[in-house]
């Protein structure tokens, strides 16, 4: 059982760890959980590649981290997860610039967006949260294979409880769009992607973990109307009367834990929350992972769909 829990922070989880010589790649690193994860990892000596869409915002995040940690080893890479062409260009630059990736943290995401599409015609939430990261991870695989820790962390959410992946209509072409169902099935896809990665590549020592960071007030909720925000809070508090917001350092702690915990060595394909591995649970509204999110046949189906949709082929 992990010594850490709900209230643990990034610095507590990483205390005593030496990440010197390790390279950590983080998407969505220009703000919120991604920036805090980058700060905490850099503080322990890691070289951190901070990826995001906006170079100016990345530069601001770098400056903020260096204010606290002047010797932080930080690199930046612009990438737009809503464009496969942009992902291919960005990862090509990454393969030229960097020698390896020890830890990949797929942290970026969108939530409850209006009905929109990515550059490639994917519905925006599953397109950004899953297909974009599927493509990015596949294109970065040569660097991951050269890494030492070989861990991939995919940020999911308890929002995966809202819906399983709809394999028949992933982009809402045949049904009415619901922003929460869309968010839910994109977050389920993040868990299934972790299951699929681990099943295929644990033999190479590569392990993948899905992470629920907890309820945190970040700019992830920027697309929500006040009405949506109130409805979500009513739903959360009706299911979890003890609900409390986490701070950003508490929210990023489980990502740091999944990326470095010795007790996870040699095992992956699991869903982590509050700095421990969550139980499979189809009833609880306050914790655990739904069985449909860790179903290996669903993971295989999602993998095949993702390769076809993105054109990205992972090594066999």
- Residues identified as active-site: 183
Looking up tokens 């905490």 gives 40
Strand partners, 273: 212, 276
Find, among 154, 43, 152, the residue nearest to 107 by Cα: 154
Per the CB < 8 A criterion, the answer to whether 263 and 14 are in contact is no
Look at strands 276-277 and 270-273 and give their pairing. antiparallel
Alpha helices in the chain (DSSP H): 10-14, 32-43, 55-68, 84-97, 124-126, 133-139, 141-145, 179-201, 226-239, 248-251, 253-260, 296-310
Which of 172, 18, 24, 163 has the alpha carbon at shortest distance from 106? 24
Q: Find the farthest-apart pair of alpha carbons in the chain and give their distance in angstroms, rounded.
A: 53
Determine contact, residues 85/77, Cβ cutoff 8 Å.
no
């Amino acid at each position: 059982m992990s010594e850490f829990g709900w209230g643990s922070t990034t610095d507590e989880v990483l205390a005593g760890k030496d990440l010197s010589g390790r390279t950590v790649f983080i998407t969505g690193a220009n703000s919120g959980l991604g920036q805090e994860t980058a700060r905490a990892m850099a503080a322990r000596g890691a070289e951190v590649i901070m990826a995001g869409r906006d170079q100016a915002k990345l530069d601001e995040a770098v400056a903020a981290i260096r204010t606290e940690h002047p010797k932080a080893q930080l690199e930046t890479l612009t990438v737009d997860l809503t464009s496969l062409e942009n992902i291919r260009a960005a990862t090509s630059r990454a393969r030229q610039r960097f020698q390896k990736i020890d830890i990949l943290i797929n942290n970026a995401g969108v939530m409850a967006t209006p009905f929109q599409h990515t550059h490639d015609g994917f519905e925006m939430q599953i397109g950004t949260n899953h297909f974009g990261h599927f493509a990015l991870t596949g294109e970065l695989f040569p660097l991951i294979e050269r890494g030492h820790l070989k861990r991939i962390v995919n940020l999911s959410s308890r929002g995966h409880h809202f819906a399983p992946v709809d394999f028949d209509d992933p982009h809402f072409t045949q049904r009415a769009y619901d922003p929460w169902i869309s968010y839910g099935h994109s977050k389920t896809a993040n868990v299934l992607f972790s299951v699929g990665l681990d099943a295929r590549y644990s033999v190479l020592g590569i392990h993948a973990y899905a992470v629920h960071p907890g309820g945190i007030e970040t700019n992830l909720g920027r697309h929500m109307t006040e009405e949506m925000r109130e409805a979500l809070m009513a739903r959360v508090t009706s299911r979890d009367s003890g609900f409390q917001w986490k701070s950003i350092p508490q929210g990023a702690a489980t990502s740091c834990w999944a990326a470095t915990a010795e007790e996870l060595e040699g095992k992956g394909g699991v869903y982590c929350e509050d700095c421990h591995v969550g139980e499979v649970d189809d009833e609880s509204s306050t914790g655990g992972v739904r069985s449909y999110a860790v179903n290996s046949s669903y993971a295989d189906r999602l993998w095949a769909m993702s390769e076809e949709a993105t054109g990205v082929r992972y090594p066999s």
